[in-house]
Chains A and B, each alone.
Chain A
């Protein structure tokens, strides 16, 4: 394949559907890190070790991401990333002009 297809940025930015999917799959890296294997060693009974390693760690990290990532996203909107929020005077620099 021509190297220009590999080197150039895609039209409209790099966040294509394939990119989002592969990025999301890569987030399994958090669950696979040795910290979570060590965490799985703390299960009460060794019977549930590998269910905990896969499902337990996955569920816990999933819940963390589910709760905290939207909060971080909302934080960006409140910091002035959203025109609608800015237009209605709800961004932090409009509510607390002395802060920012």
Chain B
């Protein structure tokens, strides 16, 4: 639609066409660069480093990140060209999937008792429930689920989070042991030691609570 809209200006003013095309490319560039950078670093730091090469050189890590970015760009182009319908379905899932990271954030910043295994298990549960509460899940199961899209008019993200939090909290309580507690304590001690707001900015914190 955007391309048609821009093209329709070509008979009136080529300058506006150029200007709008630049706007379109800038919008694409600014969005995709942040997401590709993040994905590339995640592949290099969280997949390549722990599972393939434990002590890679800086150049090698950079190369892996760049290759991951290239592959992801090609995959995105392939999806955008040949699977327009599934692109819309996946786009609808994206925000709900992102929302499932809430217990991970809680564990990272505030609740040291949330374990890594609990967070991962909760995340997987959340993703499954989000998928089954959306059109995508209904298409996958051949419309055989007993509920419709967004059951009880509650959005899929909240359904996912509900089950995610239950599984995450329960499995964190049952899977926690002394070794995990010590690892997490050292991480949270580090956070408490190096972070926290500066004394001169205490007023800003109170202001934030007023707005909240």
Contacts and interface: CB of A to CB of B under 8 A. Distances in A.
Interface of A: 3, 5-10, 14-16, 18-19, 22-23, 25-30, 32-35, 38-39, 46-51, 53-55, 98-100
Contacts of B34: 35, 38-39
Contacts of A25: 99, 155, 157-158
B102 A53 contact: no
A49 B196 CA distance: 8
A35 B33 CA distance: 10
B153 interface: yes
23 contacts: A6-B148, A6-B151, A10-B153, A18-B153, A18-B154, A19-B155, A22-B157, A25-B157, A26-B99, A26-B155, A27-B95, A29-B94, A29-B101, A32-B102, A32-B105, A39-B34, A47-B196, A47-B198, A48-B197, A48-B198, A51-B208, A54-B109, A98-B12
A55 B194 contact: no
B195 A49 contact: yes
Contacts of A10: 153
A8 B157 CA distance: 20
B99 A29 contact: yes
Contacts of A16: 153
Contacts, number: 105
Majority secondary structure of chain A interface residues (helix, strand, loop or mixed):
helix
Interface of B: 8-9, 11-12, 34-35, 37-38, 41-42, 94-102, 104-105, 109, 146-158, 191, 194-198, 205, 208
A19 B158 CA distance: 10
Contact of B35 (A5, A35, A51, A55): A35
A50 B197 CA distance: 9
Contacts of B151: 6
A38 B155 contact: no
Residue of A28, A29, A53, A98 with most chain B CB atoms under a 10 A cut-off: A29
B176 to A, nearest CB: 22
Give the one of A26, A27, A38, A48 with max B CB within 10 A. Answer: A26
Given A18-B154, A29-B157, A8 B196 contact: no
Contacts of A3: 146-147
B105 A38 contact: no
A26 B11 CA distance: 43
Output the residue of B41, B94, B148 with the most chain A CB within 10 A: B148
A50 B109 contact: yes
B157 A9 contact: no
Nearest to B156: A26
Contacts of B195: 46-50
Contacts of B194: 46-47
A32 B101 contact: yes
